[in-house]
Amino acid sequence: MIVLVKDGQMDKLTISLKEAEKTPVDGLFRRLSTGPDGLSGEEAARRLQVYGPNKMSPLLKSLLNFGRLEDFAIMALLFINVIVKYAQEKKASDACDVLKLLIYGILEREKVELM
């Protein structure tokens, strides 16, 4: 949704993305008071004065970016990788513990001391 807000109130320039998809480009330009070259410097300065700078919370930015399927797939693969790595490290650590027990058991039985 394209929204312009002034003093907590939505402006007439508000348009939903569904509505924007159905509207011809010329109609969107008229509705949003712009053109193919974007806003003029004067109109941009006026809107900055009226509406203030664009603001979006970092959390909202992350959620919007996370909405892409590629990003979700990458995050899922990274998560799976972390789980697999943890399982491998755990098995390796357990195997080392067993080897230590075997070595110390043999050394004690043979009465050999480590230097």
Number of domains composing the chain: 2
Cα separation of 87 and 73, whole Å? 21
pLDDT top residue among 5 and 69: 69
Task: Specify the pLDDT at position 1.
Answer: 46
The sign of the dihedral angle between the CA atoms of 46, 47, 50, 55 is negative
Q: Which tens digits make up the pLDDT trace of 41-86? A: 898 898 888 878 877 777 777 766 666 667 778 888 999 999 999 9
Are 5 and 49 found together in one domain? Answer: yes
Q: Give backbone dihedrals phi and psi of 92, rounded to 5 degrees, phi first.
A: -65, -40
Residue 65, pLDDT score: 67
Same domain, 38 and 73: no
pLDDT tens-digit readout, 23-46: 898 888 888 888 889 888 898 898
Q: Tell me the C-alpha distance between 5 and 83, whole Å.
A: 44
Q: pTM of the full predicted structure?
A: 0.39
- Tokens of residue 32, six digits: 């949003």
Helices and strands: H and E segment counts in the chain: 5, 2
The reply to whether 28 and 73 lie within a common domain is no
8: containing domain: 1-55
